[in-house]
Amino acid sequence: MNICKVFVPFGALGTGITDEAFARGMELGPDIISADAGTTDSGPYYLGTGRAKYAKEAVKNDMRMLMIAANKQSIPITIGTCGTCGVDACVDELEEICKEICTEEGIPAKIAKIYTQQSSQVLKEKYRAGKIKPLSAAPEINETLFEECSNIVALSGVEPFIEALKAGADIVLCGRATDTAVIAAMPIMKGCNEAAAWHAAKTAECGCICTTNPAGGGVFLTVDESGFLVEATAPDSSCSVYSVSAHLLYENSDPFYLVEPGVGD
């Protein structure tokens, strides 16, 4: 049976995790450490300015913890939506942080970068060709809108992550990505049930928010060919029917029918 174990230490890189909860997650023997690093919940400022929300020191502290542990157990790391907003410059900034840690800790690491920033000119051409339409209930768009945007990013799915992992990357740093793609990539690559992989990723995308104590702990996923198991890594927390079900209603109107963003073209 194809099985993949994913440790999600936090909902956003830079927010931290307790040493005890992190140690427990690594003791469970993950195949990969996966974490999101961005959000649009904080509003348009970060994408508009191309800046990260969290301080470099906080991000570096979290990344150091991940890299030391991953190197010790010879497993990869995937990070999505670098620098809160996922612009190319933020991917480069996190790469520099990783390189600093490699030097300071003596860690050899092959780093893969996935850029998702888009050209306004290319998008205008796509719009003219009828390939760009507004989201449901969103304002109408026109050609001038693309020029007015300071930064435009696309959403990456699992495919670029999978290609990077297959190429032997130890650390995959992605621009804007769906919160679930960064987590679902390895289980899908390993042949686990795709529905289970996406459902598991949706459950764990915000880290310990799906647990009974959403503060300072991580979550651990075990995905196979039939379903998935989610468990809290903090000693004072657990994953209850209520806590998991509640999170499945986050950004969803139906907890049984999950719709991932994006359409392949």
Confidence at residue 135, expressed as pLDDT on a 0 to 100 scale = 81
Beta carbons within 8 Å of 188's beta carbon, 6+ residues apart: 158, 162, 194, 197
Say if residue 105 is in the same domain as residue 124.
Answer: no
Domain that holds residue 133: 120-150
pTM for this entry: 0.94
Average pLDDT per run of 10 along the chain, which is 265 residues long?
96 95 98 95 92 96 99 98 97 98 98 98 94 86 92 95 98 97 98 95 93 91 96 95 89 79 60
Percent helix, strand, coil in the chain (nearest 5)?
Answer: 40, 15, 45
Say if residue 132 is in the same domain as residue 223.
Answer: no
Rg (CA), the chain: 18
Say if residue 197 is in the same domain as residue 91.
Answer: yes
Whether 259 is covered by a domain: the verdict is: no
What whole-number distance in Å separates Cα of residue 154 and Cα of residue 177? 8
Whether 134 is covered by a domain: the verdict is: yes
Say if residue 62 is in the same domain as residue 132.
Answer: no
Beta carbons within 8 Å of 256's beta carbon, 6+ residues apart: none
What whole-number distance in Å separates Cα of residue 168 and Cα of residue 51? 29
Confidence at residue 264, expressed as pLDDT on a 0 to 100 scale = 55
Say if residue 61 is in the same domain as residue 168.
Answer: yes
Confidence at residue 133, expressed as pLDDT on a 0 to 100 scale = 87
Confidence at residue 257, expressed as pLDDT on a 0 to 100 scale = 81
The dihedral through the CA atoms of 23, 71, 91, 250 has a sign that is negative
Whether 255 is covered by a domain: the verdict is: no
